[in-house]
C-alpha cells in the first residue's frame, strides 16, 4: 500500500471538498462530510465513498422512510466508516481527527492570533458591507454563550464586528468583479453579501451547514476555546468602552485598537 500521512491537512481538505451540497446534502449528520473525510473517505460516485489509500469503496444508501429502520441503517453505516477499510489500511482502526481540522486552519495557523486576528483584520477592511447590521442572530447551539455574545449584538466599533464574525468561523472572500462573500473553510458554506438589503438590521452569523463543527461543536474543547476567547475579549472590550466613553476614534486609533485586540486574543494562549 502507498505511504500516507493521515494527519496531512491538505489531504484532509481535498477529501472534504470532494463532498458538495449536490452530492451529499441528503445524508444525516452521522455521515456528514466531516465524519467521512476524517476517517479517510472521499466522495467517489453516486452514494459511494472511496479510500485512496486501501482502494476500498463503501456504498452509502439509506431507506427513504425516516423511521427506526432508517436510524439502524445509519448506525450500521457509521460503524462501516471504519470497518469497511481493508486490512492494513491506516484508517482500519480509526484515527482521531486533530482539533485543528475542526477549525479550518492548517497547523502553522493554529495560534489564536492567526485564527482570529488575520480573519478579523481582513473582514474589517471591508466592513462597510456590514455597517447596517445592528444585531446578530444566533441558533440554540450557540446560546450557551448568550450572556457574552449579547455584548457584541449592537456593535460599537468596526473591529468588534469583524472579530465577532471571525469568531464564528467565517472568512471573507472577494470574488471576480469585487463581489464579496463570507465562507467557511470546513462546511464550504458561502454567504453572498452583494444581494443583501441595505436596510436589513440583523444577520444570522451561524448559517453554517447543519453538520459543521461551528454549529455542532463536535469536540468539547472547541466550545471551551470559543468561550475563553469570548470572555477575555469581551471583558477587555468593556474596559476600553468605559475608558473611552465610546467617543469617535480616528483611523489611526482604530489601527491601534486592532493591535490591542490581537494582543488580548494572544493572551488567551497563556491560560
In this structure, what are the phi and psi dihedrals at residue 258, rounded to the nearest 5 degrees?
-60, -45
In sequence order, what are the beta bridge partners of 45? 48
Please write the tens of the pLDDT for every residue from 104-119. 555 554 455 455 666 6
The fold for domain 9-97 equals: Inhibitor Of Apoptosis Protein (2mihbC-IAP-1); Chain A (1.10.1170)
Average pLDDT over residues 224-238: 55
51: three-class secondary structure by DSSP: strand
CB 16 within 8 A of CB 34: yes
Geometric angle at alpha carbon 197, from 196 and 201, rounded to 5°: 105
- Cα→Cα distances 242→50, 103, 130, 146, 238, Å: 57, 33, 24, 21, 6
Q: In terms of Cα–Cα distance, which of 202, 75, 220, 228 is closest to 141?
A: 220
- SS3 assignment, position 191: strand
**Is the pTM higher than 0.75?**
no
So what's the pLDDT on residue 235?
59
The label of the residue with cell 491560560 reads 271
In this prediction, residue 33 carries a pLDDT of 92
Residues contacting 24, CB < 8 A, separation 6+: 33, 43
Q: Are 72 and 20 spatial neighbours (Cβ–Cβ below 8 Å)?
A: no
In degrees and rounded to multiples of 5, residue 59 shows phi and psi of: -80, 130
In our burial notation (b when 16+ CB lie closer than 10 A, e otherwise), range 218-254 reads: bbeebbebbeebbebbbebbeebeeeeeeeeeeeeee
pLDDT on residue 157: 57
Q: For residue 171, which of 119, 104, 208 has the smallest C-alpha distance?
A: 119
Domain ranges in the chain are: 9-97, 102-270
154 or 170, which is more confident: 170
Average of per-residue pLDDT across 20-38: 89
Strand partners, 202: 135
pLDDT in tens, 133-154: 555 555 444 443 444 444 444 4
Residue 137 grid coordinates:
442572530
Q: Tell me the C-alpha distance between 116 and 167, whole Å.
A: 6
Q: What is the mean pLDDT of the chain?
A: 70
Question: Is the pLDDT higher at 16 or at 230?
Answer: 16
Measured CA to CA, the distance from residue 91 to residue 183 in angstroms comes to 29
Pick the most confident of 5-14, 192-201, 233-242.
5-14
Q: Which three cell numbers stand for residue 109?
A: 495557523
Band (pLDDT 50/70/90 cuts) for residue 186 is confident
Amino acid at each position: 500500500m502507498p505511504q500516507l500521512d493521515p494527519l496531512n491537512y491538505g489531504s484532509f481538505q481535498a477529501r472534504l471538498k470532494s463532498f458538495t451540497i449536490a452530492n451529499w446534502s441528503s445524508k444525516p449528520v452521522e455521515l456528514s462530510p466531516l465524519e467521512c473525510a476524517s476517517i479517510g473517505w472521499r466522495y467517489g460516485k453516486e452514494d459511494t465513498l472511496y479510500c485512496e489509500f486501501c482502494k476500498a469503496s463503501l456504498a452509502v444508501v439509506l431507506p427513504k422512510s425516516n423511521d427506526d429502520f432508517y436510524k439502524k441503517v445509519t448506525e450500521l453505516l457509521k460503524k462501516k466508516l471504519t470497518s469497511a477499510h481493508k486490512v492494513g489500511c491506516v484508517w482500519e482502526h480509526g484515527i482521531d481527527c486533530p482539533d485543528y481540522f475542526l477549525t479550518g486552519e492548517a497547523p502553522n495557523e493554529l495560534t489564536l492570533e492567526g485564527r482570529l486576528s488575520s480573519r478579523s483584520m481582513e473582514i474589517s477592511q471591508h466592513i462597510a458591507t456590514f455597517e447596517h447590521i445592528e444585531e446578530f442572530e444566533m441558533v440554540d447551539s450557540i446560546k450557551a454563550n448568550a450572556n457574552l455574545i449579547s455584548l457584541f449584538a449592537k456593535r460599537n466599533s468596526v473591529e468588534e464586528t469583524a472579530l465577532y464574525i471571525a469568531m464564528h468561523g467565517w472568512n471573507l472572500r472577494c470574488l471576480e468583479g469585487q463581489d464579496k462573500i463570507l465562507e467557511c473553510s470546513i462546511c464550504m458554506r458561502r454567504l453572498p453579501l452583494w444581494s443583501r438589503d441595505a436596510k436589513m438590521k440583523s444577520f444570522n452569523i451561524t448559517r453554517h451547514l447543519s453538520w459543521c463543527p461551528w454549529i455542532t461543536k463536535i469536540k468539547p474543547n472547541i466550545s471551551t476555546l470559543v468561550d475563553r476567547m469570548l470572555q477575555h475579549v469581551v471583558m477587555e472590550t468593556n474596559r476600553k468602552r468605559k475608558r473611552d466613553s465610546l467617543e469617535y476614534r480616528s483611523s489611526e486609533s482604530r489601527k491601534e485598537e486592532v493591535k490591542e485586540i490581537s494582543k488580548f486574543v494572544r493572551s488567551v494562549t497563556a491560560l
